[in-house]
Structure 1
Amino acid sequence: MPNLEDWIPNRKAKPIFAEIRRRGVVSKFDLLEMSGLTSSTLTRMLEELATSGWIEESGLGESSGGRRPLLYRLKHDRGYVLGLDVSRASTRLVLCDLQLEKIDSASWQMTERMTPDRLLQEIEAAANKMIAKHGLDRGRLLGIGIGAVGPVDRTNGTMLNPLYFPAEGWSQVPIGPKLERMLGVPVLLDNGANTALLAEYWAGSQQYRHLLYVRAGVGLRSAMMSNGQLVYGAVDMEGSVGHMIIQTDGPPHPERPHVFGCLESFVSIPVLEKQAAAKLKQGRRSVLTDWVDRPDDVGFHHLLKALSADDRLVTELFTQAATYFGIGLSNLLNILHPEKVILGGPLITSNELFYQISTQVALKNTLYYPTYPVTFSRGKLSDDALAVGAAAMVVDRLTS
């Protein structure tokens, strides 16, 4: 199979292609200014990219006194990419064109029966079905990107030891090599927070130099981007935000009892469920008692329903969790100073209360507030973010 880097063999043509992709539609004049190439060299690069089908002409731009410049854009159907989001509650597969427009998708619930082998078989069947359904040339399938629960080994394509998976076997899973053999295309792996941030970047945040992404759900996951590049550490950093110590004499981490008072001990779906069950056992009044037979049966969907009903107990629990989350965000802001913070995950997207309280607390505890002009937003892509970002990772590699 061809390496992704070899699809565009001319090294000088790669930054031209990358700039056209980044800007959507761009004039030859702007490309000349950006690239520093001579007019004849740039013309040759553009002709080469157009002949091989990567770009196409898109009319004429506005004149600045002379001839109207030619405009160029990506040829979206030159190739196709698959993006896979492997998360604790569900897994999603998307098929996208080069502009990351979604063509098709499939999803699976991560039940106790969804072992790695079973999931990979489902993914292989779904990918082949999508390609056949849309009549795509398999030779134009560039590869598949995977955004998985960390920690991951990106080099070897392995999911290491993620927490909270319902099924057995989700430790030391060589998901990259396995899918490469099954689908016959290159596979790239990164943690899901990084791929979600990539997706949000390409969905309209390219104007920001420093971006922070935090996802709050079953656990806490984060990613950072600076000058359009993801920031990596010596080890996978996706879950590190959850281990930020908020209160040294606080409760132990749900899965790591030797760690006390970290952010994930106060903010996660499992923690909220356990807190609600404990309060019901203490005799606290709540509409939850009408919906479950036992306190331990309380699930996240019950909590959201109670929150919508203005249940006092559940509102109290969400307010407390959002406050702690806001404190954690303020620590990140004080250390990293991003221009924009994108928040995602079920705790953010499923209710307004959590988002509003957490962002207000974060700002009030941030150095230089209110002059520090940080922007908060919810993710634009919601459930598709991690998978679409994984597909973006494959397109990015074309110009590496």
Structure 2
Amino acid sequence: MLNNKKQRIDADKRIPSPKAKELFHDIRRRHEIGKNDLLALSGLTVSTLTRVLDELVGVGVISESGLGVSTGGRRPILYQVQADYGYAFGLDISRVMSRLVLLDLAGTKLDSREWRMDEKTTPEIFMQMVTEQVTEWIDKHRIAFEQIIGMGIGAVGPLNRITGVIEEPEWFAAPGWNHVPAVQMIEERLAFPVILDNGANTALIAESWANRTKDFRHMLYVHGGTGLRLSMMTDNKLIHGAVDMEGSFGQMIIQADGLPYRTAQGNFGALDTYASVHAIEREVNSRLRIGRSSALRQIVRPGEAAKFSDIMQALKQMDPLVTEVVTQAATYFGIGLANLLNILNPEKVVLGGPLMTENNLFFYTATQTAIRKTYHYPKYQVIFSKGTYGEEAIAIGAAQLMLSQLTV
């Protein structure tokens, strides 16, 4: 019964014809657009364009929003997405903080919620919390079941997008996060469509949406946190490898005879070992143990290890030890980033995660290092950004991924 219901929702929510899908995509990427502009963008004849627009208005996904400015003749009709036609949830499943957002069809965020992932947050408990929050929002925003397009999930990898399973992620505080059928668990509880991708990919979807009027052809997203996560996009399309490649950037070898990885599966001398939250914590605590002076001795209780939040507090005080360690980690990160730039030549790179958002030192040190080591500089210049959506990028992109199913 559930599968039949899910298939019915999918069929009802999708836009019928290829031309209508392309036109809807053009309209959705703009707040408002005139018929004349659509005529130039689409290459359709006036009669075909009129017919397809009428089809989209009839379905209910767009509406006429008024008249534009005249350029000498009749004022053009303006069109916009009908925001309340449908809604999508976006779920970010991460190791430290997870988030849920609700978007309407126009991409406007209507609500958000976050949870700290502690030792008690097993998959079963977490999925139940998500289910309860979704149910509460459906009532709060008076959303009819037929208006729900579905939920996108952006999760820590490795994962299998096709089967909807989070496979063997590392460093969750709670047990049970291996081989989690995330899509199945949500669909069984809520009875609407769910899709899964890695969180770096969904974050890049969100940032691409934020830059949709600027026509960047090649973009990268790198998330710096507990681990390092990477995604790539060309011509607004995600690049998927033969296997989930979210963690591949962190396994880039930058020192062949370097330190061992923190688990047996990783490479010696991997970038993650030198330029992650874990790397900074390890190095700071190592220096404290050999007697280095630091403001951390007043922040952290005697006998306890300094955590990343403590280290960031000391960094705000311009503590020399912490500044030295963070600068060193950011320099390593910048070397890894330069390797990506020299191979992939993206136009824009968005850097997200706590390493980038907690303090400007890491971001600026890493980007300046990368620029200095880019092969074709200054002829080739890349744009670096911390992004538009901050820590909500993964969840917002997951919801956008679900909304895009209307044109699949």
Q: TM-score range by the shorter chain?
A: over 0.9
CA–CA distance in structure 2, aligned partners of residues 246 and 36 of structure 1: 49
1:144 and 2:148 matched: no
1:115 and 2:122 matched: yes
Is the contact made by 2:29 and 2:212 (CA closer than 8 Å) also made in structure 1? no
CA–CA distance in structure 2, aligned partners of residues 290 and 214 of structure 1: 33
1:158 counterpart residue number: 165
**Structure 2 residue aligned with 1:73, among 76, 80, 95?**
80
**After the TM superposition, which of the residue ranges 300-309 and 8-17 deviates more from structure 2?**
8-17
Is the contact made by 2:229 and 2:246 (CA closer than 8 Å) also made in structure 1? yes
Deviation at 1:293, TM superposition (A): 3.0
Structure 2: gaps (5+ residues): 1-5
1:267 and 2:275 matched: yes
Query: Equivalent residue of 1:12, what SS?
Result: helix
Query: Equivalent residue of 1:297, what SS?
Result: coil
How many residue pairs end up in the alignment? 400
Query: Equivalent residue of 2:150, what SS?
Result: strand
1:333 and 2:310 matched: no
CA RMSD of aligned residues (A): 1.4
**Structure 2 residue aligned with 1:210, among 191, 209, 218?**
218
**After the TM superposition, which of the residue ranges 379-388 and 187-196 deviates more from structure 2?**
379-388
2:3 counterpart residue number: none
Aligned residue identity for 2:281: E
Is the contact made by 2:87 and 2:147 (CA closer than 8 Å) also made in structure 1? yes
CA–CA distance in structure 1, aligned partners of residues 46 and 322 of structure 2: 65
Deviation at 1:51, TM superposition (A): 2.1
Deviation at 1:3, TM superposition (A): 5.1
Aligned residue identity for 1:235: V
1:42 and 2:49 matched: yes
Aligned residue identity for 1:219: G
CA–CA distance in structure 2, aligned partners of residues 74 and 145 of structure 1: 20
**Structure 2 residue aligned with 1:92, among 68, 85, 99?**
99
Please list the CA deviations of residues 179-234 of structure 1 after superposition, one character each: whole Å capped at 9, or x if unmatched: 11111110010000000010111112452111011010111001111011111111
| TM-score, normalization by structure 1 | 0.97
Aligned residue identity for 2:106: Q
Deviation at 1:17, TM superposition (A): 0.6
Query: Equivalent residue of 2:102, what SS?
Result: strand
Is the contact made by 2:91 and 2:101 (CA closer than 8 Å) also made in structure 1? yes
Deviation at 1:12, TM superposition (A): 2.4
1:352 and 2:367 matched: no
CA–CA distance in structure 2, aligned partners of residues 318 and 65 of structure 1: 60
1:297 and 2:338 matched: no
Please list the CA deviations of residues 347-366 of structure 1 after superposition, one character each: whole Å capped at 9, or x if unmatched: 10110111111000000000
CA–CA distance in structure 2, aligned partners of residues 257 and 305 of structure 1: 33
| TM-score, normalization by structure 2 | 0.95
**Alignment CA distance shift 1:189-1:257 (3 Å):** closer
2:387 counterpart residue number: 379
Query: Equivalent residue of 2:40, what SS?
Result: helix
CA–CA distance in structure 1, aligned partners of residues 224 and 216 of structure 2: 22
1:134 counterpart residue number: 141
CA–CA distance in structure 2, aligned partners of residues 259 and 79 of structure 1: 45
1:185 and 2:188 matched: no
Deviation at 1:258, TM superposition (A): 5.5
CA–CA distance in structure 2, aligned partners of residues 294 and 247 of structure 1: 34
Aligned residue identity for 2:319: D
Is the contact made by 1:145 and 1:189 (CA closer than 8 Å) also made in structure 2? yes
**Alignment CA distance shift 1:4-1:338 (3 Å):** farther
Aligned residue identity for 1:93: L
Deviation at 1:296, TM superposition (A): 4.6
1:278 and 2:289 matched: no
Is the contact made by 2:91 and 2:153 (CA closer than 8 Å) also made in structure 1? yes
Provide the identity percentage: 49
Task: Could you list the structure 1 runs, at least 4 aligned residues long, displaced by more than 4 angstroms after superposition.
Answer: none
Structure 1: gaps (5+ residues): none
Deviation at 1:30, TM superposition (A): 2.1
Please list the CA deviations of residues 78-109 of structure 1 after superposition, one character each: whole Å capped at 9, or x if unmatched: 10110000000011111111122111122211
Please list the CA deviations of residues 250-308 of structure 1 after superposition, one character each: whole Å capped at 9, or x if unmatched: 11111236621110000111221111111111111111122223455211111001101
Is the contact made by 1:277 and 1:295 (CA closer than 8 Å) also made in structure 2? no
